[in-house]
Chains A and B, each alone.
Chain A
C-alpha cells in the first residue's frame, strides 16, 4: 500500500501551487490598503489595530503593484484552493486517511507525547511507528486542514460583497467584514509559518518529498512476507 494515496498527492501539489499564488497575490492586494481593523467598518489608519508593511516586489505576484492583475490571479486560484479543500476532506474521510493518520486522541495532547514527538528525528518521525504520524504531526496537520485552510476559505468568502449577499451570517460569524479581512491576513501568515516548518522537515529527508510524488511505501510494508500476504488475503468478512 502506498504511503500517500493518489488523492492526497494530487491535492497536495495542486494546493501547494494555489497557496503560493494566493499568498503572493494576497501580499500585492494587501499593499492597496495597508491597515487592518476589527468590526464591520474601517477606513482610517488611525482606527487600525495593525499597520502592515509594504511588501516588496520580489514577494508579490505580479512583481510590481497591480491590484487588478493580483485580484485576477487571486480569485482564479481561489477555485482550485477552495474546491481542493472540499475534495481532500471528502477523500480523507472516505479512504480513512483522517481516522488513521490525523485524528488525535486525548493522550496525543499530553506534554509527554508532544515532547517525544519533538525529540524524534524528522526523518524517523514520519512512519516510524509502523504507520501514521506522531502526535505533533497529527495536531499540526489537523490544525492546518481542519482550521487554517477552512478559515482562509470562509474569511475570503466573507470579504466578498457578492457572497456576503448570499450569506450575511458568515460575515457576522467573524465579527464583521473588517474582522474577516484581519483573520484572512492572520490565517495567511499562519499557513506561511506552517509551510516553512513543513518544508524544513521535508528537506531533512528527500525521500519524504519523493513519496509525495510517487506515493512511496508504508513502513509496515517493508516487512517482507507477512505484509504482502496480508494485503492480498482479505481479512475475514
Chain B
C-alpha cells in the first residue's frame, strides 16, 4: 500500500527516461548522424580495399565442420518442398528490371555457366562466424548477359522465404554487384545447397554481414532506386528492424 506511490514514481521516472531516449533515437538529427557514420564507414572501406578488393579466402581445412543456418531455415510451402525433394527441376531464377534482355535460368543453366569456387567466412550481425566453400556463377556474368541498363543503381534479390509474413529481399549497389566474389551459390562444401542455407540458390556478398546474403533467391532485379520496394529501406531486416543497409561493419 505504502509502496504504491513510490512504485508509480519510479515507473514515472523510468517512463520519462525511456521516452527521452526514444526521442533521441527517433530524432531526425540522430538518424542523419547514424546515416552519415554508416556512409563514412562504407566510403573508407571502399577507399582502402578498392572496389574489387577481395575478402579473405581460406584453405579447405579451415572450414567449419558445419555451416549454421539462421533466419529462415525452412520453407513450409508444399511446392517448395516438392521441388526440394526432386532437385528443383522447375525452379527458375528470373533476371528482370532495368535490363535489355530479361532471363529465366534453370539450375542446369546456372551450373553450366563458368563457376567460381571460394572458401570464405560468413559473419552474422549477431557476432558468430562460419566458414564454408561456395560455388556458383558470378553475378556480374548474369548482369552482363541480361544487359543491365545504365540507369540501374542497385540489384535487388527477391526470395522465396517469408518471415513475419513478409517476403525476404535484399539489395546491394553496383560496386558489390560486380565484385568478383559476389556469386549466386548453388553448392556448399561440394554438395547442393542445404535447405537451411537457402536451397537452391543464395547470394554471397562476401564483404558484408550475413543478412545481405539473400537465400532462396528466385529473382534478381535491376532498379534505379529501392524506395518503392517493401518499406523502402533496401531489405527485409532494414525494413523490419532498422538494420544498416551497408552491412560492412
Contacts and interface: CB of A to CB of B under 8 A. Distances in A.
Interface in B18-52: 18, 21-22, 25, 33-34, 37-38, 40-42, 44-45, 48-49
A189 interface: no
Nearest to B67: A43
Contacts of B121: 40-41, 161, 177
Interface in A9-63: 29-30, 32-33, 35, 37, 40-44, 61-63
Nearest to A157: B249
B68 interface: yes
Interface in A54-107: 61-63, 66-69, 71-73, 75-76, 78-79
Nearest to B62: A40
B182 to A, nearest CB: 12
A44 B66 CA distance: 10
B244 A62 contact: no
A33 B124 contact: yes
B64 interface: yes
Contact of A43 (B33, B64, B246): B64
B129 A42 contact: yes
Given A75-B37, A161-B209, A161-B248, A29 B127 contact: yes
Nearest to B37: A76
Contacts of B247: 161
A161 B207 contact: yes
B129 A163 contact: no
B56 A178 contact: no
Q: Looking at chain A, what size class is its interface with the partner chain?
A: 35 or more
B48 A67 contact: no
Interface string A150-174: 0000000001111111111001000
A78 B248 CA distance: 14
A43 B62 CA distance: 15
Given A72-B34, A161-B207, A166-B49, 15 more contacts: A33-B126, A33-B128, A42-B129, A43-B68, A43-B128, A62-B22, A69-B25, A76-B37, A161-B208, A162-B45, A163-B45, A164-B55, A164-B56, A165-B53, A178-B128
25 contacts: A29-B127, A30-B127, A37-B128, A40-B62, A40-B131, A41-B131, A42-B129, A43-B124, A44-B68, A62-B21, A63-B17, A68-B237, A71-B244, A72-B244, A75-B37, A160-B248, A162-B246, A162-B248, A163-B249, A164-B55, A165-B206, A167-B48, A177-B123, A177-B129, A178-B129
Interface of B: 17-18, 21-22, 25, 33-34, 37-38, 40-42, 44-45, 48-49, 53-56, 58, 62, 64, 66, 68, 121, 123-131, 206-209, 237, 241-244, 246-249
Interface of A: 29-30, 32-33, 35, 37, 40-44, 61-63, 66-69, 71-73, 75-76, 78-79, 159-168, 171, 177-178, 181
